[in-house]
Amino acid sequence: MNEILLAAIWLLPASAAAMLGIWRWFGGSARESAFAGVTASAFVGAILFGIVLAVRMGSSGITSVAADLGTWFEVDHYRFSWVLIADSLSLPFALLTAVLVGLIGAFSRRYLHREPGFCRFYLLLCLFGAGAELVILAGSLDVVFIGWELVGLTSALLIAFFHERRKPAEHGLRAFVTYRLCDVGLLAATIWLHHIVGHARFETVDAPTAWAGLSPPASTTDIALVGLLMLWASMGKAAQVPIGGWLPRAMEGPTPSSAIFYGGISVHLGAYLLLRAAPMIEASFVVRSAVVTIGALTALHATFVGRVQTDIKSALAYASMTQVGLVFVEVGLGLYTLAVVHIIGHAILRSLQFLRAPSLLHDHHHLEQAMSTVLPRTGAHLERLVPATWQPWLYRHALERGYFDAILREFVVRPVLGLARRIDTIDAAWTTFLARPSRSHPTSVARKHGS
Amino acid sequence: MIVIVPLALAFVLVVSSRVVARLASAAAARRRATAVATACLLTTMIGLALPVELAFAERVAWFPHGLLRSAPLVVSFVTLIAVALAPLATHPPKTMARVLLLAGTAHAALGVVHPATLLFLWGVSAAVVWLELRGSADGNRWDRMFALYHGASVVFLALGVGLLVGGEATRAFATLPVLMAVGIREAVMPGHSWFTRVVERAPMGVVVAFAAPQLGVVVQLELLEPARMLRYDDLVAALAGVTAVSAALLGVIQVHARRGLAYLVISQTGLIALGLVSHNPVGAAGALLNWQVLALATSGFAMTLAALEARRGPLLLHGPNGNFEHTPTLAASLLVFGLASVGFPLTLGFIAEDLLLQGTVSQYPALGLVLVIATAFNGVTVLRMFFYLFTGARHGLRGEHDLSPRERWVSAAVLAALLGFGVCPQPATALHLERDTGGPSRSR
């Protein structure tokens, strides 16, 4: 029974996405109430099943439920099994995801009313919900990867939601490129674990946490390699430095999707992955140090840059980056329970802030009227701590977003793409040479006379 | 060795191509070709579902066994995609007839398993494409460029076949010329340059019918696998890895959609070649499934691009220059075909990619990890094409119409196969598990 409840938490959003997609493909009507209703039913169902499962586990003293949904495919010694896990890490996150996606669905019904892409938004929301639940409930890295990709794709498509403007499409592509390059880490880690251990399941044996995690392999080199690959994978979704430049650009998407992706769930999935990989991180000083360093640098960078933003959604994006950076530091220092509480609290607060962002001026006036005075500036006490000689430099650094985008563009993207363009040009010239017109051909004669 | 079903399908397709070539209207030619392709597909599906095995002769079978068992089904799917989604403007009756002829040669290569027959069909299929490339509007002799590459490929294969049939003394030396022939045909670097130009110039149906059946894979499995010969696995693996990664990177920078598509296909053929030399069941199943994905998903992607091109003209990728709202089903179709072709989860492509990477890592660990980068770049190429072709302002695209009912149903059938086998892949993977390791041929 517990296994069925666990599977239903993922299957409901997945079925809703499939149903809405097939319906639209065959030209089904685009009634807003139907799309919103299917989405709401799926996530309310997921919440109910999650609560019942939590109550059953709590009342019977079970700390972990694993649902083996069977083998997906099998060739020779290699087998891909669908395993989901509900434990003290995944169940709160699964419930939080279902609640937040359900709320965003209810909010968007009015917010996106009569928007041309209304149905597309709900289809992508269901797909995102299914992907996020899969990442959270996955019992192995293999299953994580499936949800991970779904989340990345829906994120990019929703950033480009207002597709008639140029920038959303470009920023959606930018986010997808970052995701895809970072997904290399997750896929490579999974394949390498299969190669050296024979599986990539989360296990409870010798785990330093109260939940299942990745068991470290025997060799320290392998631990460091897999740990660093996992860190690279998590940096993409969590928008950590130096590759987090896509996050403020992602604010081109509709506000409800910004709330659920970059305030609530998606931006925390990187940290969630690290929590599952805690035994691996614990076993390697190199990986631990790297996690703390990346997190601390991101927190510092984002807090400075966030202070010079002139629009509320960008400021909120950098605030999210700061908090996720701090969560990375907590994970690196082994403060796992604190990290879990931090993620849940931050996800709820930041989602609310994103949803209130379009009403910011109204809220501001409301507060000023209530206090009968102008609201005081925040953070002035922090500015006083920075020496005066540093302040102009820090200000420039913040305005240029830490120069990270420029550095990546000049020293990574441009040389690689330049090399590719050079190869392509040579290749095209070679085939043009082979296909040059013969002397007797009319075009060739015309060219000769023309010159 | 005679394999009845593909041979019969080859006969039907060759006869149909003669009939279609004589029709006056392109629409009638496409209708007739679609009917024939549908009949071929249904015959193959029913035949594979029936548990019938011919017993009267040892060297006669209904379907190929072992790794090539699903090949007739794949070729039938490719034929249907290539003819049913072909735009009329670029596929007059003669071109449509050539598409059917190319499909016929692919079936024939599965129907008669003999080195000399393979050599003959190898040459015929190249000649058909060469005919299509003659008389380029820009005055360049693309047919000559194609002839140089494929003439060399035919010569190498003839040399390899000669050494193979020459006896035990010469057989050991046949590997290199056969591999060189296959390398050119499959556009493995450095023999790849012809392919981008053919994709740019030739009608898309011809490109799909020529490239997707992967005659090179058939030759490799029929001629090289069974024989005890000198092996160059490390060299092939290195070239295939370089091809997969470099083509994936080159695909990202293209400004012409057709050229981007060409590099996507080249990258995938690199992956298939690598899986075939991994020499373990996981890698081989991954390679064969990748072939199926190339045949279904990438062909669907290519023909959807052709359908869009017929509506809009040359497709450029300088920036967002389309509109999703006018053609939502066409856009969704292109996206799902593209994602399936690059191994997106819950499609057949994911299973193919997963098996291929797992199989490759066990044989070539470092190369397997590098291949992950190729799949990442391929994904970027697909989404970049989708964004640049279907986002942008509405202006000037009012007349652009969505998928027609014929296009919609054919796309739905192929997508159903890709997603259906993506969710329940056991039938697709099981087709490759009856691996025949003993005899001189993959068919029995």
pLDDT digits (tens, 9 = 90+) for B135-156: 767 778 899 999 999 999 999 9
Gap between the Cα atoms of B5 and B63, Å rounded: 6
Q: What is the pLDDT of residue A211?
A: 85
Tokens coding B135: 């008389």
Nearest to B393 among A164, A170, A436 (CB): A164
Nearest to B324 among A78, A163, A188 (CB): A163
| Residue whose tokens read 């190429």 | B381
Q: What is the pLDDT of residue B438?
A: 37
Q: How confident is the model at residue A450 (pLDDT cuts 50, 70, 90)?
A: very low
- pLDDT reading at B119 higher than 90: yes
Average pLDDT over residues A125-153: 95
Least confident of A218-227, A376-385, B210-219: A376-385
- CB contacts of A24 in chain B (<8 Å) are 328
Residues of chain A with pLDDT > 70, as a percent, come to 96
Average pLDDT, chain B: 87
Q: What share of chain B is helix, strand, coil (3-state, %, to 5)?
A: 70, 0, 25
Residue of B nearest to A134 (CA): B345
B416 touches chain A (CB under 8 A): no
Residues 63-82 of B with CB under 8 A from A: none
Average pLDDT over residues A106-120: 91
**Residue A85: its H or E element:** strand A78-86
Q: What is the CB neighbour count within 10 angstroms for residue B98?
A: 25
Backbone angles phi, psi at A28, to 5 degrees: -60, 155
B402 touches chain A (CB under 8 A): no
B404 touches chain A (CB under 8 A): no
What's the count of helices (H) and strands (E) in chain B, helices before strands?
Answer: 20, 2
- pLDDT reading at B416 higher than 70: yes
A415 touches chain B (CB under 8 A): no
Burial of B168 (0-12, 13-18, 19+ CB in 10 A): exposed
Q: Which residue has the higher pLDDT, A1 or A193?
A: A193
Q: What is the pLDDT of residue A193?
A: 93
- pLDDT reading at A223 higher than 60: yes
- pLDDT reading at B248 higher than 80: yes
Q: What is the pLDDT of residue B422?
A: 87
Nearest to A73 among B325, B383, B425 (CB): B425
Q: What is the pLDDT of residue A383?
A: 78
Average pLDDT over residues B102-123: 92
Residues of chain A with pLDDT > 90, as a percent, come to 67
- pLDDT reading at B68 higher than 70: yes
- pLDDT reading at A220 higher than 80: yes
Test A78 with B193 for CB contact under 8 angstroms: no
- pLDDT reading at A440 higher than 70: no
Nearest to A187 among B324, B365, B372 (CB): B372
B202 touches chain A (CB under 8 A): no
Residues in chain A, total: 451
Q: What is the pLDDT of residue B281?
A: 87
Residues of chain B with pLDDT > 70, as a percent, come to 91
Q: What is the pLDDT of residue B441?
A: 36
Most confident of B258-262, B289-293, B365-369: B258-262
Average pLDDT over residues B117-124: 94
**Dihedral angle, C-alpha B247, B249, B253, B259, nearest 10 °:** 20
Strands A65-75 and A78-86, bridge-based pairing: antiparallel
Average pLDDT over residues A276-286: 92
- pLDDT reading at B436 higher than 60: no
Residues 27-56 of A with CB under 8 A from B: none
Test A194 with B361 for CB contact under 8 angstroms: yes
pLDDT tens column, B196-212: 999 999 999 999 999 99
Q: What is the CB neighbour count within 10 angstroms for residue B19?
A: 15
A93 touches chain B (CB under 8 A): no
SS3 A63: coil
H-helix segments, B86-174? 93-111, 115-133, 142-165, 168-171
Test A187 with B373 for CB contact under 8 angstroms: no
Strands A213-214 and B60-61, bridge-based pairing: unpaired
Test B139 with A176 for CB contact under 8 angstroms: no
Give the residue from B67, B130, B138, B141 with the most A CB atoms within 10 Å of its CB, the best one to mutate.
B141
Distance of CA A215 to the CA centre of its chain: 24
Q: How confident is the model at residue B103 (pLDDT cuts 50, 70, 90)?
A: very high
Q: What is the pLDDT of residue B300?
A: 95
- pLDDT reading at B444 higher than 70: no
Backbone angles phi, psi at A274, to 5 degrees: -65, -35
- pLDDT reading at A290 higher than 80: yes
Q: What is the pLDDT of residue B437?
A: 38
- CB contacts of B145 in chain A (<8 Å) are 431, 434-435
Residue of A nearest to B251 (CA): A420
Q: What is the pLDDT of residue B400?
A: 76
Region of B28 on the Ramachandran plot (φ > 0 left; ψ -120 to 50 alpha; else beta): alpha
Q: How confident is the model at residue B432 (pLDDT cuts 50, 70, 90)?
A: low
Closest CA to B374 of B264, B262, B214: B264
Q: What is the CB neighbour count within 10 angstroms for residue A425?
A: 10
* CA-based R_g, chain B, Å: 20
pLDDT tens column, A33-45: 999 999 999 999 9
Q: What is the pLDDT of residue A404?
A: 92
Residue of A nearest to B327 (CA): A25
Q: What is the CB neighbour count within 10 angstroms for residue A392?
A: 9
Q: Is-contact B308 B389, C-beta < 8 A?
A: yes
Gap between the Cα atoms of A91 and A56, Å rounded: 12
Gap between the Cα atoms of A261 and A267, Å rounded: 6
**Dihedral angle, C-alpha B178, B179, B181, B182, nearest 10 °:** 120
Q: What is the pLDDT of residue B439?
A: 35
B430 touches chain A (CB under 8 A): no
Test A150 with B345 for CB contact under 8 angstroms: yes
Closest CA to B391 of B341, B318, B337, B342: B318
A183 touches chain B (CB under 8 A): yes
pLDDT tens column, B105-114: 999 999 988 8
Test B138 with A443 for CB contact under 8 angstroms: yes
Compute the nearest-CA separation of B394 from chain A (Å).
7
**Residue A108: its H or E element:** helix A90-111
- pLDDT reading at A451 higher than 80: no
Residue B231: DSSP 8-state: -
Tokens coding B144: 């000559």
Average pLDDT over residues B74-89: 94
- CB contacts of A82 in chain B (<8 Å) are none
Give the residue from A73, A126, A165, A194 with the most B CB atoms within 10 Å of its CB, the best one to mutate.
A73
Q: What is the pLDDT of residue B49?
A: 83
